[in-house]
Structure 1
Amino acid sequence: MVAVPDLLLFAGASLLMVLTPGPNMIYLISRSICQGRQAGVISLFGVVAGFLVHMLAAALGLSALFLAVPFAYELLKWAGALYLLWLAWQAVKPGARSPFEPRQLAADPVPKLFLMGFLTNLLNPKVAVFYLSIFPQFVSPEHGSVFGQSVTLGLTQIAVSFSVNLLIALSAAGMASWFARKPLWLAAQRYLMGCVLGALALRLALEPRRSV
Protein backbone atom coordinates (compact mmCIF):
# COMPACT_ATOMS: atom_id res chain seq x y z
CA MET A 1 0.00 0.00 0.00
CA VAL A 2 1.05 3.57 -0.65
CA ALA A 3 2.01 5.40 2.56
CA VAL A 4 -0.52 8.07 3.57
CA PRO A 5 1.99 10.99 3.44
CA ASP A 6 3.06 9.91 -0.05
CA LEU A 7 -0.57 9.59 -1.13
CA LEU A 8 -1.32 13.12 0.11
CA LEU A 9 1.74 14.47 -1.69
CA PHE A 10 0.66 12.70 -4.87
CA ALA A 11 -2.84 14.16 -4.52
CA GLY A 12 -1.27 17.62 -4.29
CA ALA A 13 0.72 17.00 -7.47
CA SER A 14 -2.49 15.82 -9.17
CA LEU A 15 -4.25 19.01 -8.08
CA LEU A 16 -1.50 21.17 -9.58
CA MET A 17 -1.74 19.24 -12.83
CA VAL A 18 -5.50 19.64 -13.21
CA LEU A 19 -5.34 23.37 -12.36
CA THR A 20 -2.80 23.95 -15.13
CA PRO A 21 -4.55 25.04 -18.35
CA GLY A 22 -4.39 22.30 -20.95
CA PRO A 23 -6.43 20.45 -23.59
CA ASN A 24 -8.85 18.92 -21.08
CA MET A 25 -9.68 22.24 -19.43
CA ILE A 26 -10.03 24.07 -22.75
CA TYR A 27 -12.33 21.40 -24.18
CA LEU A 28 -14.56 21.16 -21.10
CA ILE A 29 -14.93 24.93 -20.77
CA SER A 30 -15.67 25.37 -24.48
CA ARG A 31 -18.24 22.59 -24.55
CA SER A 32 -19.94 23.72 -21.32
CA ILE A 33 -20.25 27.31 -22.57
CA CYS A 34 -21.51 26.36 -26.02
CA GLN A 35 -23.83 23.49 -25.19
CA GLY A 36 -24.59 23.74 -21.49
CA ARG A 37 -23.60 22.05 -18.27
CA GLN A 38 -24.99 18.65 -19.23
CA ALA A 39 -22.78 18.53 -22.32
CA GLY A 40 -19.79 19.53 -20.20
CA VAL A 41 -20.47 16.77 -17.67
CA ILE A 42 -20.92 14.14 -20.41
CA SER A 43 -17.63 15.27 -21.94
CA LEU A 44 -16.04 14.99 -18.50
CA PHE A 45 -17.02 11.33 -18.27
CA GLY A 46 -15.18 10.82 -21.56
CA VAL A 47 -12.15 12.53 -20.04
CA VAL A 48 -12.35 10.18 -17.04
CA ALA A 49 -12.41 7.18 -19.40
CA GLY A 50 -9.20 8.50 -20.93
CA PHE A 51 -7.65 8.71 -17.46
CA LEU A 52 -8.54 5.05 -16.88
CA VAL A 53 -6.58 4.08 -20.00
CA HIS A 54 -3.55 6.07 -18.84
CA MET A 55 -3.82 4.51 -15.37
CA LEU A 56 -4.04 0.94 -16.65
CA ALA A 57 -1.12 1.55 -19.01
CA ALA A 58 0.99 2.73 -16.08
CA ALA A 59 -0.20 -0.10 -13.84
CA LEU A 60 0.68 -2.72 -16.44
CA GLY A 61 4.19 -1.40 -16.80
CA LEU A 62 4.05 0.59 -20.01
CA SER A 63 5.44 3.60 -18.19
CA ALA A 64 8.43 1.55 -17.09
CA LEU A 65 8.91 0.42 -20.70
CA PHE A 66 9.07 3.99 -21.99
CA LEU A 67 11.41 5.02 -19.18
CA ALA A 68 13.68 2.04 -19.86
CA VAL A 69 14.05 2.93 -23.55
CA PRO A 70 15.79 6.33 -23.85
CA PHE A 71 14.61 6.97 -27.40
CA ALA A 72 10.93 6.31 -26.59
CA TYR A 73 11.04 8.57 -23.54
CA GLU A 74 12.93 11.35 -25.33
CA LEU A 75 10.51 11.21 -28.26
CA LEU A 76 7.51 11.54 -25.95
CA LYS A 77 9.18 14.26 -23.90
CA TRP A 78 10.06 16.48 -26.87
CA ALA A 79 6.72 15.87 -28.56
CA GLY A 80 4.98 16.92 -25.36
CA ALA A 81 7.18 20.01 -24.99
CA LEU A 82 6.53 21.12 -28.57
CA TYR A 83 2.80 20.55 -28.13
CA LEU A 84 2.75 22.67 -24.96
CA LEU A 85 4.65 25.42 -26.79
CA TRP A 86 2.05 25.29 -29.56
CA LEU A 87 -0.72 25.63 -26.98
CA ALA A 88 1.12 28.58 -25.41
CA TRP A 89 1.35 30.29 -28.81
CA GLN A 90 -2.34 29.66 -29.45
CA ALA A 91 -3.09 31.47 -26.17
CA VAL A 92 -1.01 34.62 -26.81
CA LYS A 93 -0.91 35.00 -30.60
CA PRO A 94 -2.64 38.05 -32.12
CA GLY A 95 -6.37 37.44 -32.35
CA ALA A 96 -6.29 34.51 -29.91
CA ARG A 97 -9.32 33.90 -27.73
CA SER A 98 -9.55 32.75 -24.12
CA PRO A 99 -11.31 29.44 -23.36
CA PHE A 100 -13.62 31.51 -21.12
CA GLU A 101 -14.64 33.74 -24.04
CA PRO A 102 -18.10 32.75 -25.33
CA ARG A 103 -18.14 31.27 -28.82
CA GLN A 104 -20.59 29.46 -31.04
CA LEU A 105 -20.05 25.76 -31.71
CA ALA A 106 -22.40 23.25 -33.23
CA ALA A 107 -24.19 21.06 -30.70
CA ASP A 108 -22.85 17.50 -30.64
CA PRO A 109 -24.83 14.34 -29.77
CA VAL A 110 -24.09 12.50 -26.51
CA PRO A 111 -21.89 9.75 -28.06
CA LYS A 112 -19.71 12.34 -29.79
CA LEU A 113 -19.41 14.41 -26.61
CA PHE A 114 -18.15 11.37 -24.72
CA LEU A 115 -15.84 10.30 -27.56
CA MET A 116 -14.29 13.76 -27.95
CA GLY A 117 -13.69 14.00 -24.20
CA PHE A 118 -12.09 10.55 -24.27
CA LEU A 119 -9.81 11.33 -27.24
CA THR A 120 -8.87 14.76 -25.90
CA ASN A 121 -7.56 13.17 -22.72
CA LEU A 122 -6.15 10.01 -24.30
CA LEU A 123 -3.97 12.12 -26.63
CA ASN A 124 -3.14 14.71 -23.97
CA PRO A 125 0.68 14.78 -23.60
CA LYS A 126 0.43 16.53 -20.23
CA VAL A 127 -1.37 13.52 -18.76
CA ALA A 128 0.97 10.99 -20.41
CA VAL A 129 4.06 12.79 -19.13
CA PHE A 130 2.51 13.08 -15.65
CA TYR A 131 2.03 9.34 -15.47
CA LEU A 132 5.48 8.67 -16.89
CA SER A 133 7.39 11.01 -14.61
CA ILE A 134 5.37 11.08 -11.36
CA PHE A 135 4.13 7.51 -10.93
CA PRO A 136 7.57 5.86 -10.54
CA GLN A 137 8.41 8.24 -7.69
CA PHE A 138 5.50 6.97 -5.57
CA VAL A 139 5.58 3.25 -6.42
CA SER A 140 7.92 1.02 -4.41
CA PRO A 141 8.10 -2.81 -4.51
CA GLU A 142 8.82 -2.75 -0.76
CA HIS A 143 5.27 -1.49 -0.14
CA GLY A 144 3.52 -4.44 -1.78
CA SER A 145 1.95 -5.01 -5.18
CA VAL A 146 3.20 -2.53 -7.75
CA PHE A 147 -0.04 -2.99 -9.70
CA GLY A 148 -2.12 -2.29 -6.58
CA GLN A 149 -0.10 0.82 -5.76
CA SER A 150 -0.44 2.08 -9.32
CA VAL A 151 -4.21 1.60 -9.27
CA THR A 152 -4.44 3.40 -5.91
CA LEU A 153 -2.46 6.35 -7.25
CA GLY A 154 -4.44 6.38 -10.48
CA LEU A 155 -7.80 6.39 -8.73
CA THR A 156 -6.58 9.20 -6.47
CA GLN A 157 -5.53 11.27 -9.48
CA ILE A 158 -8.84 10.56 -11.24
CA ALA A 159 -10.84 11.57 -8.15
CA VAL A 160 -8.96 14.88 -7.84
CA SER A 161 -9.25 15.61 -11.55
CA PHE A 162 -12.94 14.71 -11.70
CA SER A 163 -13.80 16.95 -8.74
CA VAL A 164 -11.98 20.00 -10.13
CA ASN A 165 -13.15 19.50 -13.70
CA LEU A 166 -16.75 19.02 -12.54
CA LEU A 167 -16.62 22.43 -10.85
CA ILE A 168 -15.16 23.90 -14.04
CA ALA A 169 -17.87 22.35 -16.23
CA LEU A 170 -20.67 23.50 -13.93
CA SER A 171 -19.37 27.05 -13.51
CA ALA A 172 -17.89 27.69 -16.97
CA ALA A 173 -20.85 29.76 -18.16
CA GLY A 174 -20.73 31.97 -15.05
CA MET A 175 -16.99 32.46 -15.36
CA ALA A 176 -17.35 33.30 -19.04
CA SER A 177 -20.01 35.89 -18.23
CA TRP A 178 -17.75 37.45 -15.58
CA PHE A 179 -14.80 37.63 -17.96
CA ALA A 180 -17.04 39.10 -20.69
CA ARG A 181 -17.76 42.07 -18.41
CA LYS A 182 -14.04 42.51 -17.70
CA PRO A 183 -12.12 42.36 -21.00
CA LEU A 184 -8.81 43.29 -19.37
CA TRP A 185 -9.04 40.27 -17.10
CA LEU A 186 -9.90 38.15 -20.13
CA ALA A 187 -6.70 39.24 -21.86
CA ALA A 188 -4.68 38.75 -18.66
CA GLN A 189 -6.05 35.22 -18.34
CA ARG A 190 -4.87 34.41 -21.88
CA TYR A 191 -1.35 35.66 -21.26
CA LEU A 192 -1.17 33.90 -17.89
CA MET A 193 -2.20 30.68 -19.59
CA GLY A 194 0.44 31.17 -22.28
CA CYS A 195 3.16 31.82 -19.70
CA VAL A 196 2.22 28.75 -17.65
CA LEU A 197 2.16 26.51 -20.72
CA GLY A 198 5.47 27.92 -21.94
CA ALA A 199 7.08 27.35 -18.54
CA LEU A 200 5.78 23.78 -18.48
CA ALA A 201 7.18 23.16 -21.94
CA LEU A 202 10.60 24.48 -20.87
CA ARG A 203 10.56 22.42 -17.68
CA LEU A 204 9.60 19.30 -19.60
CA ALA A 205 12.28 19.83 -22.24
CA LEU A 206 14.98 20.25 -19.58
CA GLU A 207 13.82 17.34 -17.43
CA PRO A 208 16.41 14.53 -17.35
CA ARG A 209 15.39 10.97 -18.11
CA ARG A 210 14.30 9.14 -14.98
CA SER A 211 15.26 5.62 -14.14
CA VAL A 212 12.85 3.15 -12.57
Structure 2
Amino acid sequence: MVIMVGELLVAAGMLAVVTMAPGPDMAVVTRQVVSGGRGDGLRTTLGIILGLCMWGALTALGLSALLAASPTAFTVVTYAGAAYLVHLGVRSFLDSRHRDEAPADAAPPRGGNAWTVGLISNVLNPKIAVFYIGLLPTLAPSALPTQWGMALLVAAHLVLTALWLGGYVLVLDAAKHFFARPAVRRWMDRIMGSVLVVFGVRVAVNSP
Protein backbone atom coordinates (compact mmCIF):
# COMPACT_ATOMS: atom_id res chain seq x y z
CA MET A 1 0.00 0.00 0.00
CA VAL A 2 2.80 2.40 0.96
CA ILE A 3 4.65 1.55 -2.25
CA MET A 4 1.54 2.20 -4.36
CA VAL A 5 0.95 5.58 -2.66
CA GLY A 6 4.56 6.52 -3.37
CA GLU A 7 4.21 5.46 -7.02
CA LEU A 8 1.02 7.50 -7.35
CA LEU A 9 2.70 10.59 -5.89
CA VAL A 10 5.58 10.25 -8.36
CA ALA A 11 3.12 9.76 -11.22
CA ALA A 12 1.06 12.78 -10.12
CA GLY A 13 4.22 14.90 -10.03
CA MET A 14 5.23 13.83 -13.53
CA LEU A 15 1.72 14.43 -14.86
CA ALA A 16 1.65 17.87 -13.24
CA VAL A 17 4.93 18.82 -14.92
CA VAL A 18 3.68 17.63 -18.31
CA THR A 19 0.32 19.39 -17.84
CA MET A 20 1.77 22.74 -16.78
CA ALA A 21 4.50 22.87 -19.42
CA PRO A 22 3.70 25.69 -21.91
CA GLY A 23 2.43 24.29 -25.17
CA PRO A 24 -0.29 24.48 -27.82
CA ASP A 25 -3.12 23.96 -25.30
CA MET A 26 -2.14 27.04 -23.29
CA ALA A 27 -1.65 29.07 -26.47
CA VAL A 28 -5.08 28.09 -27.80
CA VAL A 29 -6.76 28.83 -24.45
CA THR A 30 -5.04 32.23 -24.24
CA ARG A 31 -6.21 33.12 -27.72
CA GLN A 32 -9.78 32.15 -26.92
CA VAL A 33 -9.88 34.11 -23.64
CA VAL A 34 -8.45 37.23 -25.28
CA SER A 35 -10.85 36.93 -28.22
CA GLY A 36 -14.03 35.82 -26.47
CA GLY A 37 -13.60 36.10 -22.70
CA ARG A 38 -13.83 33.67 -19.80
CA GLY A 39 -16.72 31.67 -21.27
CA ASP A 40 -14.80 30.89 -24.45
CA GLY A 41 -11.74 29.99 -22.40
CA LEU A 42 -13.63 27.54 -20.23
CA ARG A 43 -15.41 26.01 -23.22
CA THR A 44 -12.04 25.62 -24.97
CA THR A 45 -10.72 23.88 -21.85
CA LEU A 46 -13.74 21.55 -21.97
CA GLY A 47 -12.93 20.73 -25.60
CA ILE A 48 -9.34 19.95 -24.69
CA ILE A 49 -10.50 17.62 -21.90
CA LEU A 50 -12.89 15.88 -24.29
CA GLY A 51 -9.97 15.40 -26.67
CA LEU A 52 -7.94 13.82 -23.87
CA CYS A 53 -10.90 11.55 -23.08
CA MET A 54 -10.91 10.40 -26.70
CA TRP A 55 -7.18 9.68 -26.64
CA GLY A 56 -7.58 7.85 -23.34
CA ALA A 57 -10.35 5.70 -24.81
CA LEU A 58 -8.31 4.97 -27.94
CA THR A 59 -5.35 4.03 -25.77
CA ALA A 60 -7.49 1.63 -23.75
CA LEU A 61 -8.68 0.04 -27.00
CA GLY A 62 -5.15 -0.19 -28.35
CA LEU A 63 -5.90 2.05 -31.34
CA SER A 64 -3.51 4.82 -30.37
CA ALA A 65 -0.68 2.25 -30.34
CA LEU A 66 -1.56 1.41 -33.95
CA LEU A 67 -1.42 5.12 -34.82
CA ALA A 68 1.96 5.57 -33.14
CA ALA A 69 3.27 2.46 -34.89
CA SER A 70 2.16 3.64 -38.34
CA PRO A 71 4.54 6.31 -39.66
CA THR A 72 2.11 7.30 -42.42
CA ALA A 73 -0.93 7.69 -40.15
CA PHE A 74 1.12 9.46 -37.49
CA THR A 75 2.54 11.89 -40.06
CA VAL A 76 -0.87 12.65 -41.55
CA VAL A 77 -2.40 13.45 -38.17
CA THR A 78 0.68 15.45 -37.17
CA TYR A 79 0.57 17.63 -40.28
CA ALA A 80 -3.18 18.10 -39.88
CA GLY A 81 -2.63 19.27 -36.30
CA ALA A 82 0.20 21.58 -37.37
CA ALA A 83 -1.97 23.06 -40.12
CA TYR A 84 -4.79 23.67 -37.64
CA LEU A 85 -2.49 25.53 -35.24
CA VAL A 86 -1.20 27.67 -38.11
CA HIS A 87 -4.80 28.30 -39.17
CA LEU A 88 -5.67 29.55 -35.67
CA GLY A 89 -2.57 31.75 -35.68
CA VAL A 90 -3.47 33.33 -39.00
CA ARG A 91 -7.01 33.93 -37.75
CA SER A 92 -5.57 35.76 -34.76
CA PHE A 93 -3.61 38.03 -37.09
CA LEU A 94 -6.78 38.69 -39.10
CA ASP A 95 -8.65 39.48 -35.87
CA SER A 96 -6.01 42.08 -35.03
CA ARG A 97 -6.54 43.73 -38.41
CA HIS A 98 -10.29 43.80 -37.84
CA ARG A 99 -9.70 45.55 -34.54
CA ASP A 100 -7.63 48.17 -36.35
CA GLU A 101 -10.43 48.77 -38.84
CA ALA A 102 -13.45 48.50 -36.53
CA PRO A 103 -15.01 51.49 -34.75
CA ALA A 104 -14.09 51.93 -31.08
CA ASP A 105 -17.53 50.79 -29.90
CA ALA A 106 -17.75 47.75 -32.19
CA ALA A 107 -18.08 44.29 -30.65
CA PRO A 108 -14.79 42.34 -30.68
CA PRO A 109 -14.38 39.40 -33.06
CA ARG A 110 -15.45 36.13 -31.47
CA GLY A 111 -13.10 33.24 -30.91
CA GLY A 112 -15.27 30.82 -32.88
CA ASN A 113 -16.96 27.71 -31.54
CA ALA A 114 -14.69 27.53 -28.51
CA TRP A 115 -15.15 23.95 -27.36
CA THR A 116 -14.69 22.71 -30.93
CA VAL A 117 -11.44 24.66 -31.20
CA GLY A 118 -10.15 22.96 -28.06
CA LEU A 119 -11.34 19.52 -29.16
CA ILE A 120 -9.87 19.69 -32.67
CA SER A 121 -6.52 21.10 -31.52
CA ASN A 122 -6.21 18.24 -29.04
CA VAL A 123 -7.50 15.41 -31.21
CA LEU A 124 -5.08 16.42 -33.97
CA ASN A 125 -2.13 16.05 -31.60
CA PRO A 126 -0.85 12.48 -32.01
CA LYS A 127 1.94 13.14 -29.52
CA ILE A 128 -0.68 12.69 -26.81
CA ALA A 129 -1.06 9.12 -28.05
CA VAL A 130 2.71 8.67 -27.74
CA PHE A 131 2.57 10.19 -24.25
CA TYR A 132 -0.24 7.87 -23.19
CA ILE A 133 1.27 4.67 -24.56
CA GLY A 134 4.91 5.58 -23.89
CA LEU A 135 5.00 7.33 -20.52
CA LEU A 136 1.84 6.33 -18.67
CA PRO A 137 2.60 2.58 -18.54
CA THR A 138 5.91 3.37 -16.83
CA LEU A 139 4.06 5.44 -14.20
CA ALA A 140 1.21 3.02 -13.54
CA PRO A 141 1.19 1.55 -10.00
CA SER A 142 2.70 -1.94 -10.06
CA ALA A 143 0.09 -3.23 -7.58
CA LEU A 144 -2.76 -2.60 -10.03
CA PRO A 145 -3.60 -4.35 -13.30
CA THR A 146 -2.15 -2.40 -16.21
CA GLN A 147 -5.54 -1.30 -17.59
CA TRP A 148 -6.74 -0.10 -14.20
CA GLY A 149 -3.49 1.72 -13.59
CA MET A 150 -3.66 3.41 -16.99
CA ALA A 151 -7.30 4.39 -16.45
CA LEU A 152 -6.40 5.90 -13.08
CA LEU A 153 -3.56 7.94 -14.57
CA VAL A 154 -5.69 9.14 -17.50
CA ALA A 155 -8.34 10.28 -15.01
CA ALA A 156 -5.65 12.06 -12.98
CA HIS A 157 -4.39 13.77 -16.15
CA LEU A 158 -7.92 14.96 -16.96
CA VAL A 159 -8.38 16.41 -13.47
CA LEU A 160 -4.99 18.14 -13.52
CA THR A 161 -5.68 19.57 -16.97
CA ALA A 162 -9.08 20.88 -15.89
CA LEU A 163 -7.64 22.48 -12.76
CA TRP A 164 -4.61 23.96 -14.49
CA LEU A 165 -6.28 25.35 -17.61
CA GLY A 166 -9.44 26.34 -15.71
CA GLY A 167 -7.33 28.27 -13.20
CA TYR A 168 -5.32 29.81 -16.04
CA VAL A 169 -8.54 31.03 -17.66
CA LEU A 170 -9.66 32.65 -14.39
CA VAL A 171 -6.29 34.39 -14.01
CA LEU A 172 -6.53 35.78 -17.53
CA ASP A 173 -10.13 36.81 -16.95
CA ALA A 174 -9.10 38.69 -13.79
CA ALA A 175 -7.03 40.93 -16.07
CA LYS A 176 -9.92 41.44 -18.51
CA HIS A 177 -9.90 45.22 -18.05
CA PHE A 178 -6.31 45.23 -19.24
CA PHE A 179 -7.05 42.98 -22.21
CA ALA A 180 -10.16 45.02 -23.05
CA ARG A 181 -7.99 47.91 -24.23
CA PRO A 182 -8.07 47.92 -28.07
CA ALA A 183 -4.30 48.32 -28.42
CA VAL A 184 -3.63 45.49 -25.95
CA ARG A 185 -6.13 43.18 -27.69
CA ARG A 186 -4.52 43.90 -31.06
CA TRP A 187 -1.05 43.09 -29.80
CA MET A 188 -2.23 40.03 -27.89
CA ASP A 189 -3.87 38.75 -31.10
CA ARG A 190 -0.59 39.25 -32.93
CA ILE A 191 1.54 37.70 -30.20
CA MET A 192 -0.70 34.65 -29.78
CA GLY A 193 -1.00 34.37 -33.55
CA SER A 194 2.80 34.23 -33.77
CA VAL A 195 3.00 31.68 -30.94
CA LEU A 196 0.42 29.41 -32.58
CA VAL A 197 2.14 29.61 -35.96
CA VAL A 198 5.50 28.80 -34.32
CA PHE A 199 3.96 25.82 -32.50
CA GLY A 200 2.40 24.63 -35.76
CA VAL A 201 5.70 24.90 -37.63
CA ARG A 202 7.56 23.13 -34.79
CA VAL A 203 5.03 20.28 -34.80
CA ALA A 204 5.44 19.89 -38.57
CA VAL A 205 9.25 20.14 -38.52
CA ASN A 206 9.58 17.66 -35.65
CA SER A 207 7.31 15.15 -37.38
CA PRO A 208 9.10 11.84 -38.04
TM > 0.5: yes
Unaligned runs of 5+ in 1: 106-115
Structure 2 residue 21 is the aligned partner of structure 1 residue 20: no
How many angstroms apart in 1 are the aligned matches of 2:181 and 2:54?
A: 40
Q: Deviations over 1:132-183 (max 9, x none)?
A: 2322331337946442343233222211221133335545554332222472
Matches within 5 A, 1:1-16: 4-16=9-21
Matches within 5 A, 1:129-208: 129-140=126-137, 143=142, 145-170=145-170, 173-181=173-181, 183=183, 185-208=184-207
Matches within 5 A, 1:47-58: 48-58=49-59
**Identical amino acids, percent of aligned pairs:** 18
Q: 1:138 to 1:129 in 2, by over 3 A?
A: same
Q: Which has the larger radius of gyration?
A: 2
Matches within 5 A, 1:84-99: 84-93=85-94, 95=97
Structure 2 residue 119 is the aligned partner of structure 1 residue 122: yes
How many angstroms apart in 2 are the aligned matches of 1:122 and 1:200?
A: 17
- The answer (yes or no) to whether the contact 1:29–1:168 under 8 Å persists in 2 is no
Which segment drifts farther, 142-151 or 68-77?
Answer: 142-151
How many angstroms apart in 2 are the aligned matches of 1:41 and 1:86?
A: 21
Q: 1:67 to 1:19 in 2, by over 3 A?
A: closer
Structure 1 residue 3, shift from structure 2 partner:
5.9
How many angstroms apart in 2 are the aligned matches of 1:10 and 1:162?
A: 13
Structure 2 residue 86 is the aligned partner of structure 1 residue 81: no
Q: Deviations over 1:40-88 (max 9, x none)?
A: 7677556544432332222322210101122111110111111111112
Could you tell me which amino acid in structure 2 is paired with residue 155 of structure 1? A
Could you tell me which amino acid in structure 1 is paired with residue 203 of structure 2? L
Unaligned runs of 5+ in 2: 100-105
Q: Deviations over 1:5-31 (max 9, x none)?
A: 354223211122476211x55456655
How many angstroms apart in 2 are the aligned matches of 1:43 and 1:80?
A: 16
Q: Deviations over 1:178-210 (max 9, x none)?
A: 222472x4333223312321222222112254x
Could you tell me which amino acid in structure 2 is paired with residue 165 of structure 1? L
Could you tell me which amino acid in structure 2 is paired with residue 69 of structure 1? S
- The answer (yes or no) to whether the contact 1:88–1:193 under 8 Å persists in 2 is yes
- The answer (yes or no) to whether the contact 1:85–1:197 under 8 Å persists in 2 is yes
Structure 1 residue 104, shift from structure 2 partner:
7.2
How many angstroms apart in 2 are the aligned matches of 1:126 and 1:118?
A: 12
TM-score, normalising length from structure 1? 0.67
Q: 1:173 to 1:8 in 2, by over 3 A?
A: closer
- The answer (yes or no) to whether the contact 2:56–2:132 under 8 Å persists in 1 is no
How many angstroms apart in 1 are the aligned matches of 2:47 and 2:167?
A: 16
TM-score, normalising length from structure 2? 0.68
Superposed CA RMSD = 3.7
- The answer (yes or no) to whether the contact 1:55–1:131 under 8 Å persists in 2 is no
Could you tell me which amino acid in structure 2 is paired with residue 95 of structure 1? R
